[in-house]
Structure 1
Amino acid sequence: MLQKPKILVIKIGSNVLTKEGGRPDIERMSSLVTQIASLKSDGIKVLLVSSGAVAFGRGEIKLPEKIDPILKKQIWASSGQIELINTYKGLFKKHDVAISQILVTKEDFRDRKHYLNMRNCLLGLITQGIVPVINENDTVAITELMFTDNDELASLTAAMVNADSLILLTNVDGIFDGNPSDPKSKLISLIGNKMPDLEEVISPIKSSFGRGGMLTKTNMAKKAAELGIQVWIANGKKENILFDVINQKAASTFFEPNPKKQSTKKWLAHGDQYFKGEVVINEGAKNALASNKISSLLPVGIISVKGDFSKGDIIRITDESGVKIGLGKAEYPSPIAQEKIGLKNQKPFIHYDYLYLFQNA
């Protein structure tokens, strides 16, 4: 059942914000800003995750071909971000809407305290009617800690602020059962709770500006929907697309949400790239976690502990065959965890409230 958004995260991709050849599409930006301002006036709290810094920078600064690609991107991002945010500021000002700039890296989502500080800041901004414009800090992000693309950042942000809705705007109508450019391909308008595996039918084509592709969008949308967030993938190049998506008039792909999960579970759900250690558990512990009973992970069910971690760090849980079962927050550091392996009558290593199990486990 579709619900009217209360907290909405909108992600705008690079190809939505640029014309052919990479020049900024100010008219498109202006149209989207007008729609966002209208949604705000209707009582919806909006957070904007916007690509475009590198594309804007590329249009501003010409660099020699021989420059290191990472350095080239950093230069374009640091220059283009100024142009991007100033353009947004001017467009939103016409509607008397204040904005703020938030630049993040994956490290900001790794530490629970840091995560909560950022969450409180974002919630404070939208409570005051300010639209946060969020982007990856490409200037300082290193390759292994880069987001796959801003679809991942948008999904993380939606989980962080307990948003009920997420719209991913790209330059196609949604997920197709083949290459979107093939006339025979059909739009998949609804992806239900059971989340079918769509990897075989989704085009692997990536955009010329972004890092990700449609498969990334699908995976991030599925993860957000699993956490209880309603998600649309839609064509940001179309007029009035935000209005039409929310009013169910747009050609798009809608991901049906599961029941909502508590906020700590949402933080953990995206932690598979941020974990600091790993525990292997026995079959008895695996069955206990998978049962309908509320179960924490106890040391008696742990076979081995890997990694150097502190209390509060994210830990990955696997079975004896190496199958990933879930993620959790460590209740004590690795040296103590090592000492307690297999012992009975111990406090939980991962409490149920800080335990997230993968759907396919």
Structure 2
Amino acid sequence: MEKIVIKIGSNLLVKEKEINKKFIIKLSSIVSKLMDNNKKVVIVSSGANAAGLKYLNLNPIKSLAQKQALCAIGQVQLMKIYEQAFDFYNKKIAQILLTKDDFSYRDRFLNLKNTLIGLNQFNIIPIINENDTISVEEIKFGDNDMLSAYFAIGWGADGLVILTSVDGIYDKNGNIIKNYNEKEELLKIKKTSFGTGGINSKIEAGKMASNSGVKTCICNGKNLGNIEKFIYGENPGTIFLPNKKMKNKKAWIAYLSHSKGKIYINKGAKEAILKRKSLLSIGIEKVEGKFLKGDAVNIYYENKIIAKGISNYSYLESKNILGKKSEEIQKLGNYDYEEFIHADNLVIL
């Protein structure tokens, strides 16, 4: 593995209602060693809320406005601790705060990738968190497990380590599942006090990342040596084995882009898509949603989603060409594409 994402949850970072500095110093030591061995590492870190509470000497609060303010205050304190810890090892850090929109809109996503290229060239360690100060429900990840999966996919990481306070995923008998199997019946574990995700969000993140080709491990962060074990081929927890690695553009379409509409197709179009051919207008029965040219849309056959792609036409243009053959469309004028969605911009789900 060359590119690794490490996700740290609040319950590992927070000890007795304040940031556990010893934990961050130990983490910094391991990450610095990996960097010295030519690994590229990104840290996805929670903890801003807890850092804000400690800084202001407050108890947990319920007001949304105050929570957002706490995250703004606490993020500064959290980054100070990371900066001081990495100073021990002569490493420098950068902060990146993200929302879902930063992945969903391709221009923002490409800007993010360019920033990462620049940080790698400077040998800087990016520390990622959700931008809680501006996030609203529509653009929130919900927890940093999903953020770490989005980031690993977008960055094209080789490995994702989700560190938690348990040893991995347990089956119904309380045994660790070494290689995740969706059919396995799982033990129910309650969410921990500071975290927002719980084991279910970690499983969803592991499935999403591995489906895009990122090998993922959920393991116990109380033993930070588990990071190196995973990177160098051991299994310290539960591993999600990766599918064939997707090309960056197709991974973005499948998992990161925000769908703006729905396209319902006939049987012939479905068979063509499953053979990895383009979607033509003649195979479309109806569309829903106000999508524009270049937007992502979900593709349905008999009300079941089968694919996702980037449309060459808007919903308004589609009304004039649905069900028509390519030669009929060309006669209409101002319709430049033979394909409604080209095979290169289409992903089977």
Q: TM-score, normalised by structure 1?
A: 0.89
Between the aligned partners of 2:11 and 2:261, the Cα distance in structure 1 is 38
Partner SS for 1:54: helix
| 1:8 equivalent among 4, 24, 39 | 4
Partner SS for 1:185: coil
- Aligned twin of 1:104: 98
CA separation of 1:197/1:8 partners in 2, compared to 1, >3 Å: closer, same or farther? Answer: same
Gaps of 5+ in 1: 179-183
1:29-79 per-residue CA deviation (whole Å, 9 max, x = no partner) reads 1101110000000010111111111121122235587x6532232122111
Q: Does 1:60 align with 2:60?
A: no
Partner SS for 1:49: strand
CA separation of 1:58/1:202 partners in 2, compared to 1, >3 Å: closer, same or farther? Answer: farther
- Aligned twin of 2:20: 25
Between the aligned partners of 1:146 and 1:204, the Cα distance in structure 2 is 24
Query: What amino acid does structure 2 have at the position aligned with 1:254?
Result: I
- Aligned twin of 1:309: 291
Q: Does 1:357 align with 2:348?
A: yes
Say which is worse superposed, 310-319 or 81-90, in terms of deviation: 310-319
Gaps of 5+ in 2: 330-337
Between the aligned partners of 2:227 and 2:200, the Cα distance in structure 1 is 22
Misfit runs of 4+, over 4 Å? 62-65
| 2:212 equivalent among 227, 236, 253 | 227
Instruction: Provide the aligned length of Structure 1 versus Structure 2.
Output: 339
- Alpha-carbon shift at residue 247 of structure 1 (Å): 3.4
Q: Does 1:341 align with 2:322?
A: yes
Between the aligned partners of 1:249 and 1:343, the Cα distance in structure 2 is 55
- Alpha-carbon shift at residue 141 of structure 1 (Å): 0.1
> CA RMSD of the aligned region, Å?
1.8
Higher-Rg structure is 2
- Aligned twin of 1:196: 182
- Aligned twin of 2:332: none
- Aligned twin of 2:152: 158
Partner SS for 2:25: helix
C-alpha contact 1:202 1:215 (8 A) present in aligned 2: no
Between the aligned partners of 1:122 and 1:311, the Cα distance in structure 2 is 28
- Alpha-carbon shift at residue 202 of structure 1 (Å): 4.7
Between the aligned partners of 2:142 and 2:188, the Cα distance in structure 1 is 17
Between the aligned partners of 2:10 and 2:322, the Cα distance in structure 1 is 49
Q: Does 1:275 align with 2:247?
A: no
1:303-322 per-residue CA deviation (whole Å, 9 max, x = no partner) reads 111111222211111122x2
- Aligned twin of 2:307: 326
Between the aligned partners of 2:168 and 2:95, the Cα distance in structure 1 is 28
Between the aligned partners of 1:336 and 1:63, the Cα distance in structure 2 is 56
Partner SS for 2:259: coil
Q: TM-score, normalised by structure 2?
A: 0.92
